[in-house]
Amino acid sequence: GLEFIAAVEDEWVGYKPNYGQASIQVQLFIHNVTDKPLLFPTFDTFGIIIKDGSGKDIGTGWGRDGTLATKSVIIDPGARYCLSRRAELKWNADGKSRTFIYYDGTGSESTYGPLTAGRYTLSFWCESSGKSV
């Protein structure tokens, strides 16, 4: 009963090495296409996948120093909701590649890299029980 659209900036600009991290806009748009309100839990139910130009998954690391509970979202019939979380692009020590860091809001961070200049595809994965309210 939900439609999903992933949105991310079309071009990630790589400034000179050692100039810190660049913020990246990553959003998941959720549309309730049913005639009933639906509950979308946001705690450990979604994440991202990054693939290189040939379709190969980019290696990921994961960690959580502490756990933050995130509230579920009730999406009314026909309504849309935008889930926006923090993401960054950070230079690696080699000065030639970067690491993409995604924060899901629960205290977790996922890292993808190393990323060199090129084309990549970003998509979301999602797991939920699909309960209506």
Measure the CA–CA gap between 126 and 12, rounded to whole angstroms. Answer: 24
| Whether pLDDT at 90 is above 70 | yes
| 3-state DSSP assignment of residue 53 | coil
Instruction: Choose between 38 and 45: higher pLDDT.
Output: 38
What is the Cα Rg of the chain in Å? 16
- For residue 78, what pLDDT is reported? 96
- For residue 37, what pLDDT is reported? 95
- For residue 18, what pLDDT is reported? 61
Measure the CA–CA gap between 127 and 107, rounded to whole angstroms. Answer: 18
| Whether pLDDT at 39 is above 70 | yes
Instruction: Choose between 14 and 50: higher pLDDT.
Output: 50
